[in-house]
Amino acid sequence: MSKMGKILTGEDFAKELLLVLGISDNKCIVVTEKSNKASETVFSVKSTSKIILRDDSNETSKIITAAHEVGHFINNSKDIAAYKKFKMSGVTLIALTVFAILMVLFDEFLTNIPKLFMFLIFLICFGSSIWCNRIKVQDEDGANKEALKVLEKHSDEIFNKYNDSRSWNMINKEAKIQLESGTVKYKDSNIILNFVSLLPFIVFIFFIAS
């Protein structure tokens, strides 16, 4: 039986969207948390994935966020190899950075390492941060495209089911603006990865200058 006159929250919408898409609770569940952190999708290849919606409400922006997180789940499910590459990119960057810092410490305290080799390591670290950033932005763009696709195709059906006064025509402009601005903010924040990749070089220069 339909719940009449209900203003849907992001959690409500995400659960209905998964239902419409034929995705069972065994594959993906939706939970909410009170937190200042961003919403996220914890994807699992072998067990149940989890969409975590934080500070959820019935605002349209939360509906759009929910669709974006469902988009992550859909894309990860479609292309497991791309998901694994996404996960490995971050691990690779951290491993290379730690290795480079260890090489700097070895060079300073134990044995002289050829400077050409050191600078090659620094370049590889920085290059890996660019590669990592690119993969993460592609992941966000893919989730945005999938979110717009499912919103356009299924939002009216879900809103009508609960007699929610919203429609795709009403929210499509806001959805596009929110998703695009989210990607821009994500790109801007990726400078942190570039800084992390430069830490070995910064430590190296510090030892030279001291």
Report the amino acid identity of residue 100.
A
Is residue 73 within 8 Å of residue 29, measured between CB atoms?
no
- Rounded Cα distance, 186 and 175, in Å: 16
Alpha-helix runs per DSSP H in the chain: 10-20, 60-78, 80-109, 115-161, 168-189, 191-209
Helix axes 10-20, 115-161, angle to 10 degrees: 90
> Which is nearest to 121 in space by CA: 146, 102, 136?
102
| Res 6: pLDDT | 82
| Res 3: pLDDT | 47
What does pTM read for this prediction? 0.86
Q: Is 113 helix (H, G, I), strand (E, B) or coil?
A: coil
Q: How many CA atoms lie within 13 A of 93 on its CB side?
A: 25
User: Beta strand 28-33 with 40-42: parallel, antiparallel or unpaired?
Assistant: unpaired
Question: Which phi and psi angles does 51 have, rounded to 5°?
Answer: -95, 120
Low-confidence ranges of the chain (pLDDT < 70): 1-5, 210
- Per-residue pLDDT of 30-65, as tens digits, reads 999 998 889 999 999 999 999 999 999 999 999 999
Provide the residue count of the chain. 210
The tokens 């791309």 sit on which residue? 82
| Res 154: pLDDT | 97
- Rounded Cα distance, 74 and 53, in Å: 16
- Rounded Cα distance, 8 and 57, in Å: 8
For residue 76, is it left (φ>0), alpha (ψ between -120 and 50) or beta?
Answer: alpha
